Structure 1
Amino acid sequence: MSVTQQYAIDLYRAAQRGEAAPPAPGLHEVAAFRELRDYRRFKAVVAGRPARGRIRAALARRLSGRRLSGRRGHPAGC
């Protein structure tokens, strides 16, 4: 059963019972992702780590390390 079908069933049940309609699927996802991002930034600041750019910096370190090891003639895994 898809999300849309489940939502249609929930709408029907709410109408039969005289209850308020449930929120549409995906309506609050953006707000939930923003809250998760803010929470992770807060935890990083409390732990004394940079709050922004951590993933990009980690990827840059990893990619630059592979390029450097390849220039020396060593395989990337060594």
Structure 2
Amino acid sequence: MSIAQQYLLDTHRARQHGEPAPPAPGTHDGQAVRELRDYWQFRAVLAGRPARGRIRSALGRWLHLRPRSTC
């Protein structure tokens, strides 16, 4: 059974029982991503690492260490 089919079945059952319909699939995905990002930033602070800009600074270090071609 796919997610859409399960959602339709749950909606139908809720309507029969007079309950509120469940949220559509994907409704809260943005909030979940924000909470995950906040969690990883919190973990970085606890570990003594910078909470923001870690990927950009790592890429910057990597790019500056590469020898430049003289073409």
TM range (shorter): 0.7 to 0.9
Q: Which position in structure 1 is the counterpart of 2:7?
A: 7
The residue number in structure 2 matching 1:28 is: 28
Gaps in structure 1 of 5+ consecutive residues: 72-78
Structure 1 stretches (4+) deviating beyond 6 angstroms?
Answer: none
Q: How many residues align?
A: 70
Is structure 2 residue 54 aligned with structure 1 residue 54?
yes
Partner residue of 2:43? 43
Higher relative contact order at CA 8 Å, sep ≥6: structure 1 or structure 2? 2
Q: Deviations over 1:15-71 (max 9, x none)?
A: 111111101110111001101101111111121101112234445555666x44xx7
Question: Gapped runs of 5+ residues in structure 2?
Answer: none
The share of aligned pairs that are identical, in percent, is: 63
TM-score (norm 2): 0.75
Q: Give the TM-score taking structure 1 as reference length.
A: 0.69
